[in-house]
């Protein structure tokens, strides 16, 4: 059975800067235990991994010292320590999925949704000329 996709608009990030400032930011509910955080995740197909800023992890109730698997990020994030944090995530009307995040000690980034593993869980089509993108769960297979 083919699950129909859901369309989302490109939105303007702060500070607003017109059409050039639009980005594919996906509304996402992150869930860890009894805590949940509603945020926008930047769909970054060039990012190897998902990234969670430090304050969002804290709002989810995560404890830095309890995360034991370090990961090394790149770019400007290379200067900040990061550890793996597993959370559940709900997108649109689709069932929640498990996402692995590199939880960084930096707060300079938005929630970044990258190849591992947002793009392994969802098929995403970008229609930049129409300022929208479509998301739907992957059809088959598993990680």
Partner 1 sequence: MSLSELFPQIHVLPRSEKWRLVQLMLADLAREENALTIEADESYPVWSPYEAFDAADTMLRVLKEESGK
Out of 27, 48, 126, 131, which residue is the one contacting partner 1 (CB under 8 A)? 48
Structure token digits, residue 63: 């404890």
According to DSSP, the residues that pair with 37 across neighbouring strands are: 30
> How far is residue 95's CA from residue 55's CA, in Å, rounded to a whole number?
25
Contacts of 28 (CB under 8 A, 6+ apart): 38, 39, 40, 41, 89, 90, 91, 111, 113
Out of 7, 90, 115, 123, which residue is the one contacting partner 1 (CB under 8 A)? 115
Residues 120-139 binding partner 1 (CB under 8 A) are none
Nearest to partner 1 of 5, 40 (CB atom): 40
- Residues forming the site for partner 1 (CB under 8 A): 15, 17-18, 20-21, 44, 46-51, 69, 71-77, 82, 84, 86, 98, 100, 102, 108-109, 112, 114-117, 142-143
């Amino acid at each position: 059975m083919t699950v129909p996709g859901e369309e989302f608009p490109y939105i303007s990030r702060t500070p607003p800067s017109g059409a050039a400032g639009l980005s594919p930011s996906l509304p996402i509910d992150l869930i860890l235990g009894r805590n949940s955080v509603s945020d926008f995740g930047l769909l970054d197909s060039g990012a190897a991994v998902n990234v969670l800023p430090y304050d969002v992890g804290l709002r989810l109730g995560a404890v830095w010292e309890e995360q034991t698997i370090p990961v090394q990020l790149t770019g400007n994030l290379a200067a900040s320590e990061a550890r793996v944090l597993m959370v559940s995530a709900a997108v649109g009307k689709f069932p929640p999925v498990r996402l692995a995040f590199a939880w960084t000690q930096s707060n300079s980034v938005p929630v970044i949704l990258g190849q591992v593993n947002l793009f392994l869980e969802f098929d995403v089509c970008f229609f930049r000329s129409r300022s929208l993108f479509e998301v739907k769960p992957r059809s088959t297979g598993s990680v």
